[in-house]
Structure 1
Amino acid sequence: MSTSSPREPRPVDHLVLPTGDLDAAQSRLERLGFVVAPVGRHPFGTENVCVFLGDDSFLEFLAIGQRETCEAEARSGNVFVARDQAYRFRNGNEGFSALVVGTQDAIGDHDAFVKAGISAGAMLNFSRPFRTPDGKEDTAGFRLAFAADLRAPDAFFFTCERVNTPKVDRTALQTHENGAVALREIVLSEVNPTDFQYPLQDVINQRDVNAHSFGIDLRAANANVTVLTPQGLRSFFGIEASTTERGLRLQAFVLAVRDVAAVETLLSQNNIPFENRGSRLIVHKAPGQGAAIAFEAL
């Protein structure tokens, strides 16, 4: 009988989606029916706009604000910036680069990642101002522990400990015209998904894996993390992926919405192409939207 203590799966905290132009990203997101938070600036040269969801997760659309600062930070060992630069070098300025899970102990996570052989480098501690649309300000602090697999250069992971949560009411930022309320699923691709089972188990802190003919599923505290074969990705999401290139790639995410039909109407009014596939409505990636977004009913 096992004497090991049961794992407590981590929640998905946010997704990192590189973009070349925050204005274009904001415009695209607003046409998709999202409320977009004001621009946030990091002390290491990057900047973002975020979409906050009612389940306390969010989408981070990341751009380069000060290129010289970013380059200096990457050289000095800032893993976040270095991985962002590497992603852009290989994939261009638009995409989906990182899956971030929440934690209460980033220092412990870093030690665990080192022990498991998946640490991506030194931890990162930082803080930045946070401002709501009505002008209220506070400071948000974060502690990050990074994980990656050398076999998958185009995806990385980190745990995020919110050292100081801004004391602001985000209700207005979480009330979206498209009715999005929560992250339901994060979708990756790989020719042989089980090759990456163990690092994903360590990142999500989940022992149980559901293997099926199209890939594997792991349950985070608040969402599913799914790795699909190219055939599975095509079947479920209508997305084409290479059948020969290896390595995890972040491809799409699924959002729970109050009314899928209302989303369909909204997208039609805003001339956003979409695809109905089963019970989901899928908007494929476009400039300012680095990943496919699938909407499904709560």
Structure 2
Amino acid sequence: MSLKHIIGLDHVVVTVRDLDAAAEQWRRLGFTVSPRGTHSPILGTGNYTIMFGEDYVELLGILTETEQNKPTRDYLAKREGLERAAFTTDDAAAGADELKARGFEALGPIHFGRPVDLPSGGTGEARFNVFRWPLSEQPGGLRIFACQHLTRETVWIPELLEHANGAKRIIRLEVLAADPKAAAEHLARLIDEPARAEGDGWLVPSGGKRADILFYDAAGFARRYPAAVRDGAATEGAASLVVASDDIDGAKAALGPLATVHDGAVSVAASAANGLIVSFLPQ
């Protein structure tokens, strides 16, 4: 029986050392970036978001050291990059109970919020309930958690949804693993979705029509991306984010000299996107 309160991939968290510099870097890739947000003191983090139709990218940085953000600080001590993925939940408390019933010690739910600058003027608040799978459960080195949006209207703001590169949604999150089959089966157990062989890797759907998560090894990674695109990429863990664009020519123009065209895709080297390859495919 699948998890009743997990809907699919909600967003990915790209953890960075210099938050404002990262926001500017992603603007140069043709993304519309939100105003900076500051999370609750218990979290000690700040963020920028890059919003699509149903999912998004979060750029996250440490503002104040707290117990809650120690795993992120440990990650940043080694590298920048896509540290974790969030799944949408319609009820964080019920979702956490589901995990506990299956023998996983869920952490949370935790309630938090952040102020939001509204395009019409003034300030609103984005509020969330989240729970995490145990930190020991990291398929392919990917941390996972679930997010319940209590105020979607202050997160999915229409003015943030249009991007010069034509980005519309996340197609796939790609993860480097020494044993892709085992990593995929691990995630499949955690979210109750089937794992299957797919090309040169193993794929797990995140649920519904949301993004897939693909696991492959170093050889598969090298076959998928040219060396110039792999520059600055992780040697393990989340390595690439594949995004659908409804304007590939616009994506090429927005990326300019950062664009590498290959195999029907337009990709940006990980060295230009905080350790994460960003690859655009036509929608």
Normalised to the residue count of structure 1, the TM-score between the two structures is: 0.82
Mean CA deviation greater in 148-157 or 37-46: 148-157
Correspondence 1:252 to 2:240: yes
Pick the aligned partner of 1:160 from 124, 127, 147: 147
The separation in 2 between residues aligned to 1:260 and 1:7, in whole angstroms, is 36
**Distance in 2 of aligned mates of 1:48 and 1:168:** 12
Residue 28 of structure 1 aligns with which residue?
Answer: 25
Q: Secondary structure in 2 aligned to 1:24? A: helix
The equivalent residue for 1:106 is 92
| AA in 1 matched with 2:48 | V
| SS of aligned partner of 1:264 | helix
2:121 to 129, 135, 157: 135
Structure 2 CA distance for partners of 1:15 and 1:282, relative to 1, 3 Å: same
CA offsets per residue over residues 125-168 of structure 1, 9 Å max, x none? 11221223443422211111112463749420001011233357
SS at the partner of 2:25?
A: helix
- Seq. identity, %: 23
Cα offsets for 1:173-221 (capped at 9, x unmatched): 1111111111111111111112123441244441x22214622111222
Cα 1:61–1:110 change in 2 (3 A) is same
Equivalent position SS for 2:73? helix
Give the Cα–Cα distance (whole angstroms) in 2 for the partners of residues 262 and 249 of structure 1: 30
Number of paired residues? 273
2:222 to 209, 222, 234: 234
Matches within 5 A, 1:2-151: 4=1, 10-43=7-40, 44-53=43-52, 55-66=53-64, 70-71=65-66, 74=67, 78=68, 81-89=69-77, 91-92=78-79, 94-119=80-105, 121-148=107-134, 150=136
How far is the alpha carbon of 1:250 from its aligned partner? 1.0
Q: Which portions of structure 1, spanning 4 or more consecutive aligned residues, are displaced by more than 6 angstroms?
A: 5-9
CA–CA distance in structure 1, aligned partners of residues 155 and 2 of structure 2: 36
Structure holding more strand per residue: 2
CA 130–217 in structure 1, closer or farther in 2 if over 3 Å, else same: same
Q: Structure 1's 199 and 108: CA in aligned 2 closer, same or farther, altered over 3 A?
A: farther
Alpha-carbon separation, structure 2, partners of 1:181 and 1:37: 16
Question: Which segments of 5 or more consecutive residues in structure 1 lack a partner in the other structure?
Answer: 243-247
CA deviation vs aligned residue, 1:13-42 (integer Å, no higher than 9, x gap): 111011111221121111111111000001
Contact 2:6 2:90 in 1 (8 A): no
Counterpart contact for 1:190–1:228, Cα < 8 Å: yes
Distance 1:228 1:117, change over 3 A: farther
The one-letter amino acid of 1:201's match is: A
Q: Distance in 2 between matches of 1:6 and 1:123?
A: 16
- What is residue 261 of structure 1 aligned with on the other side? 249
Change (3 A) 1:12 1:290: same
- More displaced, 180-189 or 107-116? 107-116
Which residue of structure 2 lines up, in the alignment, with residue 245 of structure 1? none
Q: CA deviation at 1:62?
A: 0.6
For the Cα contact (< 8 Å) 1:259–1:297, is it kept in 2?
A: yes
- How many Å separate the matches in 2 of 1:163 and 1:13? 14
- Cα 1:181–1:24, aligned 2, differ >3 Å: closer, same or farther? same
1:177 equivalent among 164, 181, 186: 164
Residues 1:215 and 2:201 are matched in the alignment: yes
| C-alpha separation in 2, matches of 1:225 and 1:169 | 23
